[in-house]
C-alpha cells in the first residue's frame, strides 16, 4: 500500500509583463504564473504527481490557498484507492458540499480541484510508465465512461451515448497511436499576434511561423478597429492566401459590437473569431455566431465547466471548442467535454500558451484523436513559444506539429530549479521585484 | 481627506452541523461561516465598513485569502474618492485583469470583491447616517445607472432603458418609504423545512410560522421522493390551503428527473420549485420551466453574476429571481440584476438565511420597492430565524414581515464579541473543535 505523504504547493510567477508577451485587449500586463501542486508519496519508486493552475499574476496566492485547502482530502490516503478509481476521486473533490459552495464548480475552488486531479493523473501515468495520452487512449470505453460525472449532462449526453462514441473509435486505435508517434498533432501559433508587438515584430514573427511549418497563426484584436484592420492586412500580405489567420477578442465586445467589428475584418479571410464576448454568455455567442457567419466562433478557455460547454453546443453558440488544461476540473472533466464535442460533431482546438498549458493539453488532443473523435480534421492545438524550458518534458515541435510525448506522465512537471528561482516572494524572483514597484 | 488604514479579514465559523440546521439534499452538514472584512479609516467619526461572504464551512479560509488579496486596491486610498464613485470603484475591482483571470466574474474572487464592495456601501451609508435601502432609494436615476457596468448587458438592458425604469419609479418614492417604515416588507420562512428535521419538528415549526404571521413556508426536497410526498402532505395539512408552500431541490436533479419528481408534488399546490438543477444551466431550467408549468421555477442564490441572470431572463428559464447578498459582486451588481428583473417583469424574492444574509439582502428588496420595481406584489424575502443575535443591527420581524431598518449602514456588521468567539482556530471556537475531529 502506498500513502500520500504531502501535498506541497507553491506560488510561481514569471515577470512576463516586462516584455508584453501575452498582451491582449483585456489582459494588458500579465505576469504568467502557476499555482503549483506536488503530491509526494511513500512509494519506493520516487514518483511524484505534479499539476498546476495557470494564472496571470495577482491572485496566484489565492489559487495556492485553494489547492492547499484540498490537502485534507489527500494526505494520509491510500494512493492505489485514489488512482484506481479516478472517477470516484473526482466526485469526492467536486461534491465536497462545503467546498462546492465556493463555486459551485467554477472559479478558484474548481480550478484548484483541477490542479490536484491533474497531479494525480500525472502520478498515475508515471506509475504506469506511459505518457498520459497513451494511458488514457488504452483504457476501455467502460473505464473512460466511469471517469465522468454525468450529473447535469444527460439531457445532451448519456453514459450509453458516450460508450457508443468510444466503442466506435476502438478500431484503429493502434494505427492512430502510431500515426501520432510518427507525425505528431497539428498546431497553430499565436506568437506573432500579441497586441503589444510592433508591426515589424508582427511581420517578422508571422514569416517565422510560416517558415516553421505552421499552417495557421492568430492575431489578438478588439482594442482599436483601425489597428486591427492594418494588422490583419499586414499579416495576410505576409503569410499569403494559404495560411489560416484566426482572431481573438478576449471577451472585449457585446453582441452588436462583435458583429460590426468582424464585418470589417471578414475580407481578410478569418479562420475564426475567438472569445468575442463574456465566456458566460451562451445566448450572446449564439447571436454573434449567427451574425458573423460564415466566420466560426471559437471559445472555451474561460468556460467554467462541462455544463457551460454542453449549453454552448446545444445552442450552436460555438463552432470550435477550445478546452483548457487548467480551467475546469482537470482531465476527467475535459474528457467529458471531448465527448460532448464528439457528440455534437464540433472540432476541439485547445487553448494553450501561458505556462505549461501546451505541455498539458497536448495529451488531451492526442487522446481525443486515438480514442474519442478519431480524427484531427479541422483541429489544431494552440502553440506559443514561451517558458517551455522550465518543464522537465517540454513540448517538441516539428513542422508545425506537436510531436507525441513519450515520457511517462502528464507533462506537468516543472524543473525544481525553475520552481525555486521563480518562487514569488523569494529574494531573486523578478516577479516579486516587479510587484514591489506597484 | 479620509484614508483607508486597513482591510482586516477574519474566518468566522458557527458549528451549525451539530443540529442539522441548514441541511438539504446537497448540503448535508453545513457549518455556517463568514469570510469577514472590516475596513478601517482614519476618520474621526470612527465609522467602519463591514461586509462578508457567506460560506458553509471548509474553504472559508480560501475566501478570506481572496478578500485579503484586494487590500492593495484599498489600503492608503482616499475614502471619498472610493465612496463618491462607487461605479468606478466596482469596475476597478472587477476589471483588474490579473484577478479577473481567476473567474472571470465568478467564484471565490468575485465573491471577495462583493464583500469588499458591500463593506464600502456599509461605510458610505454609515457616513450618510442612513440605512442602505434609504441611501440607495434617494439617489437620482442617473446616479444609480452610474453604479452599473453595462458591459455584456446591453443586448437585454441599455443604460437608457435602465434610466427609464428608474425615472418611472421616482413618483411615489416618499410614499413607499413611508409604507416600508410602517408595514415592513413581506417574508416567507424556511425554518420548518430542513431535510434533517423530524416530521414532528416540521409540523411544530410550520404551525409556529403560521402563528407568527408568515403567509408562505418552504420545504427542502430532492433526497427521497416518498419522504417528500409525506412531508409535503403533512405540511399542507398543517398550514391549510391559504398558506403558500415553496419547494427547494438545491440543484439535485437533471431535466427529466425534475419534471418527473415535481409531477408527484404538484397536488399539494406548490408555490415554486427552487434550484431544480445546476445554477449554470440556463437551457435545462428553461426546459424544466416548460415541463413543470404552471409551477414557477425560482433560482439565483448560486448564480455567479449579472450575465447569468440576464440569460435566465432572456430564455424564460426562471419565473422568480432570487438574488443573494454575497454571491455576486455586491450591491452594484445586485442593482443591475434588480433592473434586469424589472425590465423583464419578473418578481425578485431574495435568498436569505445563513449568516447575516437576511440582514444584508432586506436593504436590496426595500430599495427595489422604493426606486426600481415600485411594487412588492408577488415578492417575499426568505427568512430563517438563525444567528441574528450576532449582528449589531439584527433584522426585526413582525407579522411575517421584515421591519424596515432605520440604523445607518448596510446591516452587515457583526458584534466584535461574536467575531472573537467564533474565530476559526481560536481556542474556544466550537467549529474549530468540530473540524479537529474530522
3-state secondary structure of A50: strand
Q: Give me the mean pLDDT over the B157-179 stretch.
A: 98
Residue B299 near residue B253 (C-beta atoms within 8 A):
no
Considering chain A, what percentage of its residues have pLDDT values greater than 90?
A: 91
Q: B229, B239, B246, B235: which is closest to B190 by C-alpha?
A: B246
- Whether the per-residue pLDDT at B278 is higher than 90: the answer is yes
B359 shares contact with chain A (CB less than 8 Å): no
Residue B50 near residue B122 (C-beta atoms within 8 A):
yes
Residue A381 CA to residue A398 CA, distance in Å, equals 13
Residue B28 has a pLDDT of: 73
- Whether the per-residue pLDDT at A321 is higher than 90: the answer is yes
Helix (H), strand (E) at residue A263: helix A255-265
**What domains are defined for chain A?**
4-129+418-436 (3.30.390.10), 166-415 (3.20.20.120)
Beta-carbon contacts of B129 under 8 Å, excluding residues fewer than 6 positions away, are: B408
Residue B317 near residue B289 (C-beta atoms within 8 A):
yes
Residue B37 CA to residue B53 CA, distance in Å, equals 9
Say how many C-beta atoms besides its own lie within 10 A of residue A18's C-beta.
12
Residue A18 has a pLDDT of: 77
Distance from CA of B237 to the nearest CA of A (A): 33
Cis omega (within 30 of 0) on the bond before A104? yes
Give the residue on A whose Cα is nearest the Cα of B276.
A152
Region of poorest pLDDT, from A44-48, A144-148, A188-192, B5-9: A188-192
Please, how many CA atoms are within 13 Å of residue B127, restricted to the half-sphere of its CB? 18
Residue A433 has a pLDDT of: 58
CB contact under 8 A, B59 and A72: no
Beta-carbon contacts of B256 under 8 Å, excluding residues fewer than 6 positions away, are: A154, A155
CA angle A398-A404-A410, nearest 5°?
130
Residue B76 near residue B435 (C-beta atoms within 8 A):
no
Residue A17 CA to residue A434 CA, distance in Å, equals 9
Region of poorest pLDDT, from A125-134, A165-174, B26-35: B26-35
Please, how many CA atoms are within 13 Å of residue B5, restricted to the half-sphere of its CB? 11
Label residue A434 by pLDDT band (50, 70, 90). low
- Whether the per-residue pLDDT at A3 is higher than 70: the answer is yes
Out of A30, A153, A255, closest to residue B155 by CB: A255
Over the stretch B121-141, which tens digit does the pLDDT of each residue have? 999 999 999 999 999 999 999
Note if B73 is an active site residue. Answer: no
Going from the C-alpha of B40 to that of each of A22, B5, B231, the distances in angstroms are 37, 6, 48
Note if A126 is an active site residue. Answer: no
Going from the C-alpha of A270 to that of each of A232, A266, A310, B385, the distances in angstroms are 9, 6, 25, 58
3-state secondary structure of B365: helix
- Whether the per-residue pLDDT at B315 is higher than 80: the answer is yes
Helix A282-292 × helix B306-314 angle, to 10°: 70
- Whether the per-residue pLDDT at A377 is higher than 50: the answer is yes
Distance from CA of B92 to the nearest CA of A (A): 13
Cell of B416: 466584535
Sign of CA dihedral A418, A419, A423, A428: negative
Helix (H), strand (E) at residue A143: helix A141-146
- Whether the per-residue pLDDT at A23 is higher than 90: the answer is no
Say how many C-beta atoms besides its own lie within 10 A of residue A46's C-beta.
8
Residue B206 CA to residue A102 CA, distance in Å, equals 31
* Burial profile B23-40: b = 16 or more Cβ within 10 angstroms, e = fewer: bbbbbebbbbbbbbbbbb
CA-based Rg of chain A, rounded to a whole angstrom?
21
Instruction: Specify the pTM.
Output: 0.97
Residue A281 near residue A304 (C-beta atoms within 8 A):
no
Q: Which residues of chain B lie closer than 8 angstroms to A155, CB-CB? A: 254-256, 283-284, 287
- Whether the per-residue pLDDT at A271 is higher than 50: the answer is yes
Residue A436 has a pLDDT of: 47
3-state secondary structure of B297: strand
Q: A30, A54, A19: which is closest to A250 by C-alpha?
A: A30
Out of A107, A278, A311, closest to residue B108 by CB: A107
Q: Which residues of chain B lie closer than 8 angstroms to A287, CB-CB? A: 155
Residue B209 CA to residue B216 CA, distance in Å, equals 8
Considering chain B, what percentage of its residues have pLDDT values greater than 70?
A: 97
B15 or A345, higher pLDDT? A345
Over the stretch A390-399, which tens digit does the pLDDT of each residue have? 999 999 999 9
Residue B430 has a pLDDT of: 66
Residue B438 has a pLDDT of: 38
Q: B99, B53, B144, B73: which is closest to B342 by C-alpha?
A: B144
Scanning B49-78 for CB atoms below 8 A from A yields 55-59, 61-63, 65-66, 69, 72
Q: N- to C-terminal Cα distance for chain A?
A: 49
- Work out the mean pLDDT of chain A and round it to a whole number: 95
Amino acid at each position: 500500500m502506498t500513502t500520500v505523504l504531502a501535498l506541497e504547493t507553491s506560488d510561481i510567477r514569471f515577470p512576463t509583463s516586462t516584455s508584453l508577451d501575452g498582451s491582449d485587449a483585456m489582459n494588458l500586463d500579465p505576469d504568467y504564473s502557476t499555482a503549483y501542486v506536488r503530491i509526494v508519496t511513500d512509494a519506493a519508486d520516487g514518483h511524484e504527481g505534479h499539476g498546476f493552475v495557470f494564472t496571470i499574476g495577482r491572485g496566484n496566492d489565492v489559487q495556492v490557498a485553494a489547492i492547499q485547502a484540498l490537502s485534507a482530502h489527500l494526505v494520509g490516503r491510500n494512493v492505489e484507492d485514489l488512482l484506481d478509481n479516478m472517477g470516484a476521486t473526482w466526485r469526492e473533490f467536486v461534491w465536497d458540499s462545503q467546498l462546492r459552495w465556493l463555486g459551485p464548480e467554477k472559479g478558484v475552488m474548481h480550478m484548484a480541484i483541477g490542479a490536484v486531479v491533474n497531479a494525480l493523473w500525472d502520478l498515475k501515468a508515471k506509475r504506469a510508465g506511459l505518457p498520459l495520452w497513451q494511458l488514457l487512449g488504452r483504457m476501455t470505453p467502460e473505464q473512460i465512461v466511469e471517469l465522468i460525472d454525468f450529473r447535469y449532462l444527460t439531457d445532451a449526453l448519456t453514459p450509453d451515448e458516450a460508450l457508443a462514441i468510444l466503442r466506435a473509435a476502438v478500431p484503429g486505435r493502434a494505427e492512430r497511436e502510431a500515426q501520432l508517434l510518427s507525425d505528431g498533432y497539428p498546431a497553430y501559433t499565436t506568437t506573432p499576434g500579441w497586441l503589444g508587438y510592433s508591426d515589424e515584430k508582427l511581420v517578422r514573427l508571422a514569416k517565422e511561423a510560416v517558415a516553421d511549418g505552421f499552417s495557421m497563426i492568430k492575431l489578438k484584436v478588439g482594442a482599436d478597429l483601425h489597428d486591427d484592420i492594418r494588422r490583419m492586412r499586414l499579416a495576410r500580405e505576409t503569410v499569403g492566401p494559404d495560411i489560416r489567420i484566426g482572431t481573438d477578442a478576449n471577451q472585449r465586445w457585446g453582441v452588436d459590437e462583435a458583429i460590426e467589428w468582424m464585418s470589417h475584418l471578414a475580407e481578410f479571410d478569418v479562420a475564426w473569431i475567438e472569445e468575442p464576448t463574456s465566456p458566460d454568455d451562451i445566448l450572446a455567442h449564439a447571436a454573434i455566431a449567427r451574425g458573423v457567419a460564415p466566420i466560426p466562433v471559437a471559445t472555451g478557455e474561460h468556460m467554467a465547466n462541462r455544463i457551460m460547454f454542453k449549453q454552448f453546443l446545444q445552442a450552436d453558440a460555438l463552432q470550435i471548442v477550445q478546452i483548457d488544461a487548467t480551467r475546469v476540473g482537470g482531465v476527467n472533466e475535459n474528457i467529458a467535454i471531448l465527448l460532448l464535442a464528439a457528440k455534437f460533431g464540433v472540432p476541439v482546438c485547445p487553448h494553450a500558451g501561458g505556462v505549461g498549458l501546451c505541455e498539458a493539453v497536448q495529451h488531451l488532443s492526442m487522446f481525443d484523436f486515438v480514442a474519442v473523435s478519431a480524427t484531427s480534421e479541422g483541429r489544431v492545438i494552440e502553440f506559443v513559444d514561451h517558458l517551455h524550458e522550465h518543464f522537465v518534458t517540454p513540448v517538441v515541435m516539428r513542422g508545425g506539429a506537436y510531436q507525441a510525448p513519450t515520457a511517462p506522465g502528464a507533462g506537468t512537471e516543472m524543473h525544481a530549479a525553475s520552481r525555486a528561482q521563480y518562487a514569488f516572494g523569494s529574494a531573486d524572483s523578478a516577479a516579486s521585484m516587479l510587484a514591489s514597484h506597484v
